[in-house]
Amino acid sequence: MKKITFTCLVVILFSGAFAPAEQFGGLIETAQAIAIEANATADYIWQQNYQYQPVQTEQPMSPVTGGLEPLYFNGKGDDLLLVDILPKQYPYVYIVNNGRNFFTVKGFDRDGKYILMANNVGRYSGFAYLADSYVEKIETIEIDGGKDWEMLFLPAVDKSIETYKAPIIISGNEPSIFFLENAGPLVEADFSDDKNITVYQFDSSGRQNLMFNEIGPYSGKARFSKGQSLIVVNSVGSWTMKFYGPNNEAPEDSVSIEYRISDDFKSVTSTKPIPEPEAE
């Protein structure tokens, strides 16, 4: 921009060398005015063309609740999906794969950082929590080793995700996610599943605690971080977890999770389109 000012002054002052002395001061003022206007125009053009503009992400909205709808994908075999998903908006994903091979699902951002959403051998069904990741936006999903697979992304505010208060006994028959309040430092669990079982706790700060990682059937105890938490249970058989109170009070009340993720698969109202790669 300094070059613009200098050029204007040189041109006009050169013209002023052949002008009467009384006009010379006026030419300087004219040159300064032109330079100011030129600099302002150049600055405006730079802002319009080069200044970083944040990407505006549009997601389908539910006409009933006004919230975000689930996003559903399915396919066969290895695949690469081009998507636009914000983990803060869609922090939960449920993945099913009917195959016998090693199976992985990764969500990548544009810089190559990724979230590992599934990593298993053989048939698989389970949840992954995405909001604790450093990936802010998923633009590519890579499915490796899949046969017949499905994915369902659930929004942050989903009526199917219940909140319970400890001390309490919670039981279920499939992978589940729920919130837990008032919990103490101890949890007991029984799992009938004869495959890999994992249970994760995510506290209010997003820190992860892998409470159970076993091959079932399994019964045992685990340490629990006090406070409100999100619990992610990945077990396809029946399971029961006893959450003690903050002062180690044994649970007496019990609840059975009646929600079934398969119901969400059947009632998905929005399928996120998968754009084709642009031709070079």
Q: Can you tell me the distance from the alpha carbon of 177 to that of 91, in angstroms, rounded to the nearest whole number?
A: 11
Look at residues 237, 234, 255 and name the one whose alpha carbon lies nearest to residue 167: 255
253 near 168, Cβ under 8 Å? Answer: yes
**CB neighbours of residue 78 within 10 Å:** 12
Give tens-digit pLDDT for 193-209: 878 889 999 987 778 88
Q: What is the per-residue pLDDT for 23?
A: 56
Task: Give the Cα separation of 30 and 80 in Å (integer).
Answer: 61
Q: 151, 94 in Cβ contact below 8 A?
A: yes
Q: What is the pLDDT of residue 34?
A: 55
C-alpha radius of gyration, the chain, whole number: 30
Structure confidence at residue 267 (pLDDT): 54
The torsion of the CA quartet 133, 157, 264, 179, rounded to 10 degrees, works out to: 70
Beta strands in 86-123 (DSSP E): 92-98, 102-108, 114-121
pLDDT at 273 (0 to 100): 43
Residue 17 DSSP symbol: T
Residue 59 pLDDT: 45
Q: Alpha carbon of 233 to those of 90, 165, 200, 221, 245: distances in Å?
A: 18, 17, 7, 15, 20
CB 209 within 8 A of CB 200: yes
pLDDT at 233: 93
Which pLDDT tens digit goes with each residue over 239-263? Answer: 999 999 998 899 999 999 876 665 5
Residue 68 CA to residue 85 CA, distance in Å, equals: 12
Distances, alpha carbon 134 to alpha carbons 56, 89, 112, 140, in Å: 19, 14, 12, 15
> What pLDDT score was predicted for residue 274?
41
Asked if 74 contacts 149 with a C-beta cutoff of 8 angstroms, the reply is: yes
30's tokens:
């004219």
Question: How far is it, in rounded angstroms, from Cα 270 to Cα 262?
Answer: 16
> Are 181 and 231 a contacting pair, CB within 8 Å?
no
Confidence of residue 81 (pLDDT cuts 50, 70, 90): very high
- pLDDT band at residue 105 using 50, 70 and 90 as cut-offs: very high
Q: What is the pLDDT of residues 216-245, one digit of tens each?
A: 799 999 988 877 899 999 988 899 999 999
